[in-house]
Amino acid sequence: MSNAPITVSVNGNSIDLSGAKTVQAAFEAAGEPAKAGNLVDVEGATLEEGKGYQFSFAVNGQPGTDPTSPLKEGDAVVFSDGGDIEEESDSTDEPIPHETVDQGYGPIHMVDNPGADGVKTTKTGKISGKTVTQTTAEPQDRVYRRYYPDTGEDKVVALTFDDGPWDTSTAEILDILKANDAKATFFTVGNRIDDSTADLIKREVAEGHQVCTHTWDHAAGSGQGVNLSFMSKDEQREEITKGMKAISDVTGQEASKVIRSPGGNFPTEVWMNVEDLITAEIGWDIDTEDWRKPGSDAIAQAIKCATPGDVILMHDGGGDRSETVEALKEALPYLKKQGFRFITIDELMQYPKKDI
């Protein structure tokens, strides 16, 4: 039975095959219904006609590559012209550096796309001697994304406190948080963590709060106490690593890689210098301006204006924070009554990015 003739369709015409029953045999039996491609140089100009691929084909709609593929009764073969073959060449690759961009708006700042260098290939044809350069892989930007979390119908806010620990106000704030089933994130100043305040850090961790660094000394010295970008790369990195170490020395655990920069000053240039040390830098939606000491009523009113997904900036250290303490006593029960929950930054970052 295997030697019996078969009938196949070639480009819509019936062809009988009685000997070899392959794609190549069908091509020849049909009178070579497609022409071969050409040998071309590195610029695509023809060097020699008919020296490319003999043909392209599909069997029953499925593209094929092996002309010795067997055919069976009723198969439909479609041939088309063969592709060109490029002359052999010597080639070299060079990287195309990727760009770094800072995009978006919002309190959460993190790497959204790691980026990748592109590739530029230079080829010199062995027959033509021509040289061409082309981009064979486009570079992908490294994107530092600022965004708002999309909390959907969840009424959650992130309470954050900077500049602690402070021997009096930090403990009072922890008491208020506990009374309101609230979790918060404390951005600590490393050189304020010592024997007298270590227990406050341990308590923050034990009660489910997130402890992050606000740098070692709030960018003192060349940073003028407010701006990492004024500092050298080594100084920037030291501010973060020492701040994290101060936390881990007390907790015995690896410190969070989420940080808040002094003054919220964290331009792309600083990101690039410290990106291997951190996962995110956190800003805020509501600045209570409690550091100005505007009165507890003003601070409380700012907190009460929270909307779902907001990050609220306050201070538990850096001076007298009695106004902040009093404001929290008023504002947290109010928000809780409105159905709000108080979560950490890590928890807030579990929500998707808001599409704006």
Q: How far apart (Å, rounded) are the C-alpha atoms in residues 144 and 162?
A: 23
How many other CB atoms sit within 10 Å of the CB of residue 319? 12
Lowest mean pLDDT segment, chosen from 1-15, 29-43, 45-59, 306-320: 1-15
Q: Please tell me what DSSP assigns to residue 116.
A: B
267 and 255 in contact (C-beta within 8 Å)? no
pLDDT digits (tens, 9 = 90+) for 281-335: 999 999 999 999 999 999 999 999 999 999 999 999 999 999 999 999 999 999 9
pLDDT score at 3: 79
Please state the φ and ψ torsions of residue 129, each to the nearest 5 degrees. 75, 0
- Residue 206: pLDDT band (50, 70, 90) is very high
Q: Percent of the chain scored above 90 by pLDDT?
A: 98
pLDDT digits (tens, 9 = 90+) for 96-126: 999 999 999 999 999 999 999 999 999 999 9
218 is catalytic: no
Half-sphere exposure of 200 (CA within 13 A, CB side): 25
Domains for the chain: give ranges and CATH numbers: 6-86 (3.10.20.30), 89-144 (2.20.230.10), 148-348 (3.20.20.370)
Torsion of CA 315, 316, 319, 323, to 10 degrees: 80
Out of 41, 209, 315, 316, the active site residue is: 315
Q: How far apart (Å, rounded) are the C-alpha atoms in residues 143 and 116?
A: 11
Q: 109: helix, coil or strand?
A: strand
Half-sphere exposure of 243 (CA within 13 A, CB side): 33
Residue 218 pLDDT > 50, yes or no? yes
Burial zone of 94 (CB within 10 Å; 0-12 exposed, 13-18 middle, 19+ buried) = exposed
- Residue 189's nearest CA partner among 218, 229, 228 is 218
- Helix, strand, coil percentages, rounded to 5, for the chain: 25, 30, 40
Out of 41, 162, 217, 290, the active site residue is: 162
315 is catalytic: yes
Mean pLDDT of all residues in 5-16: 97
pLDDT score at 1: 43
Say what the pTM is: 0.79
145 and 107 in contact (C-beta within 8 Å)? no
How many other CB atoms sit within 10 Å of the CB of residue 251? 17
